[in-house]
Amino acid sequence: KAGVTQTPRYLIKTRGQQVTLSCSPISGHRSVSWYQQTPGQGLQFLFEYFSETQRNKGNFPGRFSGRQFSNSRSEMNVSTLELGDSALYLCASSYGTGGQETQYFGPGTRLLVL
Amino acid sequence: GNSVTQMEGPVTLSEEAFLTINCTYTATGYPSLFWYVQYPGEGLQLLLKATKADDKGSNKGFEATYRKETTSFHLEKGSVQVSDSAVYFCALSDRMEYGNKLVFGAGTILRVKS
């Protein structure tokens, strides 16, 4: 099976712009989660989608949003970019959402905000 | 809330040395526990997991045992290789209103010298 794919792999934006990142989960996986990784804050949970519904959200401002399509592909959007949004954004998929489910990660999208 | 604490790095070892990376957690209930590895420029790869007390996860020579009494999940390998150089993350599955999210430790950098 193909793994989780994320596009683009690298992005450079300027402050105030918006950006959309894309994630394709492993075939058959219905849950997609997004995480932000920075040197200062480490890995932090952004949100999780299941069957096109956002079910959980981390402690991030409303500028961070996302959606999931009927084929389980997901996008996240960050509006009005700030320098502090520079990070590696990781997408993870799992078949379900039980506590024993394993989340499989993509390679990430590295965003640099200038 | 639930949290994970890892030993600080970097950990520098010679090839064929024994590796231990300490991980302790704070959680209500009995979460699943995971070790993920991140190679330079890549996303997270699942290394091993354990879903209940006394379970031992193992993969590629790495092992970790879920110790409920000490709330620990230490990662061990008997003989490290240069190719094991990476960042290692301990994580737990944190129950949310719907589904779960991963809560990560800060990560431990491992450097193996030939």
| Confidence at A34, pLDDT banded by 50, 70, 90 | very high
Q: What is the pLDDT of residue A16?
A: 98
Predicted confidence (pLDDT) per residue in B85-114, tens digit = 999 999 999 888 888 899 999 999 999 999
CA distance A84 to A55: 25
pLDDT in tens, chain B (114 residues): 899 999 888 999 999 999 999 999 999 888 999 999 999 989 999 999 999 999 999 999 999 999 999 999 999 999 999 999 999 999 999 888 888 899 999 999 999 999
* Residues 37 through 96 of chain A touching chain B, CB cutoff 8 Å: 42-43, 45, 48, 50, 55-56, 58, 90, 92
CA distance A1 to A57: 29
CA distance B66 to A41: 26
Pairing of strands B108-113, B11-14: parallel
The minimal CB distance from B102 to the residues A45, A106, A107 is found for A45
Specify burial of residue B86 (Cβ count, 10 A radius: 0-12, 13-18, 19+).
Answer: buried
Q: With beta carbons less than 8 A apart as the criterion, state whether A105 and A92 touch.
A: yes
